[in-house]
Amino acid sequence: MRFNKFLKTAAVMLILTSVLAVNVFADTAYKTITVDKNGDYIETQNAYNPVETIEKIGDEILSKPSDMAISGDRLYIADTGNHRIVVSTLNGDLISVIGSDVLKEPVGVFIAGNGEILVADSSAQAVFAFGTDGTLIKNYEKPDSFLYGKDETFIPLKVACDSNDNLYISCKGNSNGIVQLSRSTGEFLGYFGANEVKVSLWDKFLDAIFTEEQKSQLQQTIPASISNLTVDSDGIVYTMTNIETEQVIRKLNMSANDMLTTNISFPSPSDLAVGNIGNIYAATSNGYILEFNSEGDLLFIFGGFDDGSQRIGLFSTISAISVTDDGRLYVLDDTAGQIQTFEPTEFTENVHTSLYLYQEGKYLESKEPWEQVLLMNNLFDYAHKGIAESYYMEENYASAMEHFELSNDKEGVSKAFTELRNAVIRKNIFIILGVAVVIFGGAYLLVMLSKKTKVLAPAGGYVRKITSRKTVKEVLFLFKIPKNPMDAYYGIKRENKVSVLSATILYGIFVIIYLADKYLRGYIFSSVNVGQYSVLKDAAVIIGIFVLLILCHYLICSITEGEASLKNVYCGIIYSLMPYLLLRPVMIVLTHFLTTSEVFILNFFNVVIYACSIALLVVMVSELNNYKAAETVKCIFWTLFAFFVAIVVLFILYVMCKQTAEFISQIWSEVMYRVQG
């Protein structure tokens, strides 16, 4: 299960807004969403059940808490409004209060491997390190290195560290990336993992032609600052950017390269946490929780916005999320000043067990728990991918292909098909060679025999009789196009070698081939999801394109004093598409036998089809209209321009007609309502 790509913001917003307080299960105020193999959002059983709400820490009331961290059996809360760090048990019993005399606005907290408590304080513009007993050990302020930037501010938002003396700090408004310091000395080590900026072709063009003064007057494109971060036990850095980007969450290795295979994007991100199997939890400020696997594939969406009902599992706003070693979630609602806890269901426990084994490469061991997942929910398509890998390891390639297809993993299908195809070839190599020898040898002997005895004369006569028929002969004129295009187009224009009927037959064949190319390709190379067929619509669209193109070209030819008649244009265009008509069926057949590693064969066919078709169309325009080179180019340009203008006009007319129909329908409904009333 992959994002088509990764999560589209509009689709996620649609799902999130539809989740509001829906009673799907008797004990929850929300429903759980997952993604199927086609990238569609579907409902699944509960992934997590709400357990309890911690409204107070002992007798202490939280005020605008911003962040939270879990270490062992202790919970550390950045109680921002009260200028302190509150330490409690996982059940909410108060243990201690830290930093009341030092902290001003603690907004981030992280627990180091040695137990030190790291706190990001935005008002103090510093990061503080406290010992396990709450004593202040060290503070980190703005680096004095010129590499940091003299005018760059230091307003820490979140802090984390690894086991290699690296301290990572995300700072408000700092577009250079994460501030990396030496934890032991406080030395500035540089910036790490800055967000990328995508530069459009237009920006590149302006950069190439503008002077430095002109460039300075343009709006500068700078990367978004990183708003949140965490570090897992392996030293991998996870970042979050709280604006709409193509990748809200990134998983960075020591070289700052993103390790996620899919882009993670969703609206209103607020915090993230990492589970003990590498699964990523993300929270949105409007009350939703998302879980991804270690590669970035979405597993679950749950939670929801509390509209005042104060039901457990719903939130006013979420400022932080943390997870225990056993997978229990703690979610901090900063508006309500409380913490809600969730525990994974049996279904989710099976998913996590399967994921752990799968990610460790223990595919055979993961088969049984994946099967348990499917027994509980046969629509959870990601399980099929794990089972497919198990079958692949068992060398049961046919079953592996079946389950890879159920998970929409085309790379997996290709991998299993390669092995299955090789196994079939190895097993039947002598039969295959024997059949090839019989076919080619028999054909050769038959040809040689026919030359001496004319045994094929009756069959040849029958073929000549068929091909001599007028319509068949006109259709077969297609094969004369590549031999000598100029003579062929002269024959179309002056000698009536083809007719409207033969051209119409070829247009019909083109439409059939186009539909077959879209819907009958091999699974590995198909771009259409199973069941998503719109044959009549596709046929109408391609026919409409041909009609519009023919009319536009004829009108331009008439205006530019071209000699081509409407019949010439109608016939010439389809006969120029001879490479498509002949080679595309071969490609369709090949898609059932090739794998992704052999896609270069299909790419070669595409290059030949498009290059030859374009060349023939150019020659057609020139020969049918008796144009010179410049006139030919001019005619083609204006034809394409007229075609796109016509498309725009038709679209505007469609929108206007649709709006008019809706207006009339509304008036009619109002009239009927008043009449019945």
Looking only at the bridges linking them, the beta strands covering 288-292 and 106-111 are unpaired
The secondary element (H helix, E strand) that includes residue 143 is: none
Q: What DSSP line would sit under 509-537, residue for residue? A: HHHHHHHHHHHSS-GGG--S-TT---HHH
281 in Cβ contact with 321 (< 8 Å) = yes
Residues 6+ apart with CB under 8 A from 5: 39, 262, 263
Token duo for residue 128: 């503080």
Q: Is the pTM of this model over 0.85?
A: no
Picking from 306, 152, 161, the residue whose alpha carbon sits closest to that of residue 233 is 161
Q: What DSSP line would sit under 387-449, residue for residue? A: HHHHHHHTT-HHHHHHHHHHTT-HHHHHHHHHHHHHHHHHHTHHHHHHHHHHHHHHHHHHHHH
Rg of the chain in Å (alpha carbons): 34
Would you state the pLDDT for residue 4? Answer: 41
Phi, psi angle pair for 28, to nearest 5°: -130, 150
Residues (pLDDT < 50) of the chain are: 1-26
Token duo for residue 1: 């299960």
C-alpha distances in Å from residue 112, one per residue of 108, 129, 231, 253:
13, 10, 10, 19
Euclidean distance between CA atoms 222 and 175, whole angstroms = 7
264 in Cβ contact with 7 (< 8 Å) = yes
Would you state the pLDDT for residue 677? Answer: 59
Euclidean distance between CA atoms 427 and 420, whole angstroms = 11
Q: What is the pLDDT of residues 287-316, one digit of tens each?
A: 999 999 999 999 999 999 988 878 899 999
Picking from 540, 545, 543, 557, the residue whose alpha carbon sits closest to that of residue 631 is 557
Would you state the pLDDT for residue 7? Answer: 42
Q: What is the pLDDT of residues 621-635, one digit of tens each?
A: 999 998 999 999 999
C-alpha distances in Å from residue 541, one per residue of 470, 505, 538, 547, 647:
31, 18, 5, 10, 12
109 in Cβ contact with 76 (< 8 Å) = yes
Residues 6+ apart with CB under 8 A from 54: 91, 92, 338, 339, 340, 341
Would you state the pLDDT for residue 3? Answer: 40
Domains and CATH numbers, the chain: 9-344 (2.120.10.30), 361-421 (no CATH), 428-468 (no CATH), 470-657 (no CATH)
Euclidean distance between CA atoms 313 and 50, whole angstroms = 6
